[in-house]
Amino acid sequence: MTPAQRSSGSPSPSGSIDHALRRRKIDYALRLRSLWTAYLLAMLFHVQLGLMPLFHGFSVAIGSTVNPAQVPLVYRAMLGYFLLPLMALLLITWAASDGCGSGGGRWSPWRRWHFWLSVVYSVTNLFHLIADIVVPDSRADQVFLMALLFLIGLLINRQAWFWSHPGLAAMQT
């Protein structure tokens, strides 16, 4: 068999595939972009489902211990909580399209920072999931969505770990 046949993916006469073809390169940045997109959509749907009773004439008011003067601060915190994954998504795209290769180069600090950001989001989602479970009048659809957000977060953690440690990621392929 010629080298061209081996590199084209044609099996060798013995039936084995060329070693170079068996090694696959996982695009962790692409996986992370997909997971963060799914995360943001699930988070939006979580909020939308929470507001859905309004469209049927029911109240969505819950008992609150937040001082009315602090409500703008709560809104800003919620905005930040949504914007950080959006910014992470954009920075992942920017880093992946930089052409620095799989090692990361100047993006290595961002990759490590991103991993820890994803861990913070998983921890906060775990707390939110627990809170949704223990609230007496919680809705099953909201609990399900929070569980889904938590699982997506764990997947983000795993992919972010491999993306921030290219040497370890190479051993996984």
pLDDT tens-digit readout, 132-173: 999 888 889 999 999 999 999 999 999 999 999 887 655 655
153 found inside a domain: yes
CA separation for the pair 11, 161 (Å, rounded): 35
Residue 87 lies in a domain: yes
Q: Identify the domain containing residue 73 by its residue range.
A: 26-51+69-172
Is 59 a member of any domain? no
pTM of the entire predicted model: 0.77
Mean pLDDT over the full length of the chain: 83
Residue 12 located in a structural domain: no
7 occurs within a structural domain: no
* 21, pLDDT greater than 50: no
Decide if 99 is inside a domain.
yes
DSSP 154: H
In a domain, 85, yes or no: yes
Angle at 64 between CA 61 and CA 66, to 5 degrees: 130
Q: Work out how many domains the chain is built from and give that number.
A: 1
Percent of the chain with pLDDT over 90: 51
